[in-house]
Amino acid sequence: MSGELSPIDKAKFVAAKRAAEFVEDGMRVGLGTGSTAAWLVRCLGEMVREDGLRIKGVPTSTRTAQLARDVGIEVISLDEAKWLDLTIDGADEFDVDLNLIKGGGGALLQEKIVATASDQMVVIADVGKEVQHLGAFPLPIEVIPFGWQTTQALVEETLISMDVLGRSSTLRMNGEVPFITDEGNYILDLRLGRIGNARQLALVLNQMPGVVENGLFIDICDVVVMGYGDGRVEVRDINEGTVATDKLEFVETDNLFSDLND
């Protein structure tokens, strides 16, 4: 199976594998959404099955919940957990301050709630997600369906008044119909190119009627584990900078890849 994986998938895998070392027996763990987070869930599932790791997982989407159950992780709701020891999730971009753009998979709302309810957020990413300035990746904004075009116009007009560059947005589609989030909302993808003041933008967006949440994660992430296609990983801590560099073997096991073998 490993021969079919691209360097980017290997990078995602080693980041996830290294981040799984943050998980300790008995923890309540937020489980992110996306292809990198899926590797993490598979790695944790293997640790549960093979090593007897006991954790309770709080998924950030219905698809992560399904995968977690499939690989043997006990799934509970955030309200049952109340507070989490750790959340591990992917990201679309991260900058030098470990601020993020998330929501490429459309799960930003639950992801932000879960990460904010955690003692620590660890982001797992391939090296291509590192940026000097956030904004090349279109910023996802979750909006309620009622009056979404009015909300879109308000977002764009407000950004014009703030002299923000770029600022055109499109409704995310799922084929011929709008993409619907787990909370029943729509997503606007806002093309900005480069975000000057991400903190201010995040606050302004969330004040608009109709906007539920935006994909800027400011001061939420504590650690980024960045993977390379050759198996190298770098662990960056928000306070201490790079704290570890390792090289992981890409280990192929039937268990780990069982859900990819179809």
Ligand X SMILES: O=C(CO)[C@H](O)[C@H](O)COP(=O)(O)O
Is 33 annotated among the ligand-binding residues? yes
Of the candidate spans 28-36, 41-49, 174-182, 205-213, the one that interacts with ligand X by CB under 6 A turns out to be 28-36
Query: Is residue 142 part of the contact set for ligand X (CB under 6 A)?
Result: no
Following DSSP, what letter does each residue of 5-29 receive, concatenated? S-HHHHHHHHHHHHHGGG--TT-EE
The continuous run of DSSP H or E covering 62 comes out as helix 62-70
Query: Is residue 120 part of the contact set for ligand X (CB under 6 A)?
Result: no
Torsions phi, psi of 217, nearest 5? -110, 100
According to CB under 6 A, which one of 23, 53, 98, 108 is a site residue for ligand X? 108
Set 93, 111, 213, 234: catalytic member: 111
CA 217 to chain centre: 10
Query: Is residue 227 part of the contact set for ligand X (CB under 6 A)?
Result: no
According to CB under 6 A, which one of 9, 46, 92, 93 is a site residue for ligand X? 92
Q: Hey, how many other C-beta atoms are within 10 angstroms of the C-beta on 183? A: 12
Query: Is residue 33 part of the contact set for ligand X (CB under 6 A)?
Result: yes
Query: Is residue 107 part of the contact set for ligand X (CB under 6 A)?
Result: yes
Q: Has 24 been annotated as catalytic?
A: no
What torsion, rounded to 10 degrees, do the Cα atoms 24, 26, 28, 29 define? 30
Query: Is residue 190 part of the contact set for ligand X (CB under 6 A)?
Result: no
**Rg of the chain over all Cα atoms, to the nearest angstrom:** 18
Q: Which residues are annotated as a binding site for substrate?
A: 33-36, 89-92, 102-105, 129
Summarize as ranges the residues that interact with ligand X (CB under 6 A). 32-37, 89-92, 102-108, 111
